[in-house]
Structure 1
């Protein structure tokens, strides 16, 4: 008969414990990953189903819709790289729009996925967006579970995916990559994993100009940590996290021959410049005073709701780095002049204004919370599908 050594604490055979430990970790990982991934997969399926239902014969196929507008320009960067050095100008010397406006991480990932899988650049772009969205879902659930509880994390994720233009997380756009990097940086900073926070901050800064909001949130987290006891690691991580966005803007400036080259390209190609909310104010007041199109009025209401949500969230005293990140992303979305229909898309990664509703749903009875969350997901998914298929929104 074999003589099994017993563990003194559990009374179980030591050999059995060696096998049980990996199984226990696997079960814990399954419990952590299953809820956000199942929710993310269900909403993705719902969005695609609604796109199919609302798609009109004779219009662009659904696959082409998901690669439309700025998505085509991201694909150009992924396939051909950036244009040659020099300021993009017309014959009269006026500045033109250029693919230099698009930050490099997302097209680089698309190119990498194309090389590794052999997929077309369009399919590779959708693959990168979907996988990044899944990663963002897991990280967001874990972050909010640390800050509040798992139930609040689940409902906040549901509300993020229920946003009217959350469909963009599955398009050839950089929002899903940015959201994953931003939430990863916040989660790492909250855990005190400063190398990971620095890396995620750099990646966010190479994805969108609002990556600077991620870097500044890491700075605030580092300051809060240093106040409890001096350490050089948080400070170094904060400096690194803030470096990528200014670095890319400087690179574009050197490539175009003007330090403000990126800003000139944005203004010339997309009419986007920081006007401290003047354009948004005019749009909101015009639409609420006498708007005739329900989509334009709804966009104005969504912007107002986001601003009100931010104020309510601040009353709940959220974790300061998350609050700063959310306020900056919301402020950048509302504070610049561009196509008004883009505002809901730019607000998708902001998170903060959805926090009061998520906490309210988490505190409500299940028979109230689940139907409300489900209705929000259905309504938001329909809205996004309608804007892409019927209204042909510029996102």
Structure 2
């Protein structure tokens, strides 16, 4: 089945023909990227003035927020310091911290639980990415998608106590289920995706498009309304409003979640003006090589997305990618977090994935190894030498 072909018959996610025979290779590719990155973190960390173990570096920045949610729960209102509104734990969506809390309840230390869940979710992400690439293109494309995504410059977060592993596994799994018409799985994964990160709203829209396509095809062929895809899409679309609404109820203020995000991280939607200002200032003044590299990554990602759209990818994945990129580029906030936020978008990776799947094996492997060498080193540098948050 090609990326543009569809079927109205329900499919099984676990069909061997759907790519399960290559899952072991996909997990092996993930393992190589993770071990390689941990070694780089160890190597680079030994040259810094601040001696910290590799383990400690996996538990920095946002990890502390997730651990506090997991162990202490969410606050009941706003947090102030000297009368000034601050960010607090209500900004963080619940799926990942609730998994940490569950693992801690059965005997793991919270920090061990946080990293272990991230690693297990990374395996799930590798499996789902391989199945997605196989469903849309070919088995080689599935492997290429795993290798390119899991060695990207921001892929270091797949080893850290961050929610990207969970989100990537859920969103890729959701699209696999939707493409194979396993709507019960698509709906469940879509709801969990939407309860994992704010960009779950973009994923839910993508699932909604997949559901509309299925409903239209079933109506044309069988003259009946298909309720399963509609229910799946409704479940996913409800996720982000449910959490934001719950925060509003808990705090007693309708736009509480947005105020907390703005106060803590400056992540207001400004239609891209902050991103444009960052690109203009950075590329004109050359203020630091990391800033310049991030500016170039943002521009390359835009170009890659444009190329991907000309190749007419599967429409639900395209809609998700475009909406997610609008959210990332359109909001203010820490510029150095944007590559991390773009990691699960997938649309930007499709041109490279398609090219690698069609190239001679030796060329594809050498190209991906070169990409991985830079990407894994870059991520290790950011969590060891560079002093700012991801």
TM-score of the alignment, normalized to the shorter chain, above 0.5: yes
> Aligned to 1:73, which of 65, 68, 75?
65
Q: Deviations over 1:156-177 (max 9, x none)?
A: 1111012111000111110000
Is 1:87 aligned to residue 75 of structure 2? no
Whole-Å Cα distance in 2 between the matches of residues 26 and 339 of structure 1? 43
- Seen in structure 2, the aligned counterparts of structure 1 residues 26 and 196 have a Cα distance that, compared at 3 Å, is closer
Whole-Å Cα distance in 1 between the matches of residues 17 and 356 of structure 2? 27
| Residue 381 of structure 1, CA deviation | 0.1
Q: Contact between 1:66 and 1:170, CA under 8 Å: does it hold in 2?
A: yes
Partner secondary structure for residue 345 of structure 2: coil
Partner of 1:43: 33
Partner of 2:3: none
Partner of 1:295: 290
Partner of 1:373: 368
Whole-Å Cα distance in 1 between the matches of residues 71 and 331 of structure 2? 29
| Residue 30 of structure 1, CA deviation | 7.0
- Seen in structure 2, the aligned counterparts of structure 1 residues 26 and 281 have a Cα distance that, compared at 3 Å, is closer
Whole-Å Cα distance in 2 between the matches of residues 261 and 58 of structure 1? 38
Partner of 1:105: 95
Q: Contact between 2:18 and 2:135, CA under 8 Å: does it hold in 1?
A: no
Which gives a bigger RCO, structure 1 or 2 (Cα 8 Å, sep 6+)? 2
> Aligned to 1:174, which of 160, 163, 166?
163
Partner of 2:122: 133
Structure 1: 5+ residue stretches without partners: 1-24
Partner of 1:349: 344
Partner of 1:244: 239
Q: What TM-score comes out, normalization by structure 1 length? A: 0.90
| Residue 89 of structure 1, CA deviation | 3.3
Aligned pairs (5 A) from 1:355-366: 355-366=350-361
Partner of 2:335: 340
Whole-Å Cα distance in 2 between the matches of residues 29 and 194 of structure 1? 19
Q: What TM-score comes out, normalization by structure 2 length? A: 0.91
Is 1:225 aligned to residue 246 of structure 2? no
* RMSD value, Cα: 1.7
| Residue 26 of structure 1, CA deviation | 9.6
Q: Deviations over 1:282-303 (max 9, x none)?
A: 1011111221311100000001
| Residue 57 of structure 1, CA deviation | 5.4
Whole-Å Cα distance in 2 between the matches of residues 64 and 96 of structure 1? 26
Partner secondary structure for residue 160 of structure 1: helix
| Residue 86 of structure 1, CA deviation | 2.6
Structure 2: 5+ residue stretches without partners: 1-14, 220-224
Q: Contact between 1:88 and 1:256, CA under 8 Å: does it hold in 2?
A: no
Whole-Å Cα distance in 2 between the matches of residues 105 and 123 of structure 1? 17
Partner of 1:200: 189
Partner secondary structure for residue 164 of structure 1: coil
| Residue 60 of structure 1, CA deviation | 2.7
Whole-Å Cα distance in 1 between the matches of residues 23 and 100 of structure 2? 25
Whole-Å Cα distance in 2 between the matches of residues 305 and 108 of structure 1? 36
- Seen in structure 2, the aligned counterparts of structure 1 residues 312 and 29 have a Cα distance that, compared at 3 Å, is closer
Whole-Å Cα distance in 2 between the matches of residues 31 and 247 of structure 1? 38
Q: Contact between 1:362 and 1:369, CA under 8 Å: does it hold in 2?
A: yes
Q: Contact between 2:154 and 2:343, CA under 8 Å: does it hold in 1?
A: yes
Q: Contact between 2:128 and 2:176, CA under 8 Å: does it hold in 1?
A: yes
Whole-Å Cα distance in 2 between the matches of residues 70 and 51 of structure 1? 18
Whole-Å Cα distance in 2 between the matches of residues 337 and 217 of structure 1? 24
Whole-Å Cα distance in 1 between the matches of residues 148 and 326 of structure 2? 20
Partner secondary structure for residue 89 of structure 1: strand
Is 1:158 aligned to residue 150 of structure 2? no
Partner secondary structure for residue 317 of structure 1: coil
Partner of 1:277: 272
Whole-Å Cα distance in 2 between the matches of residues 264 and 28 of structure 1? 44
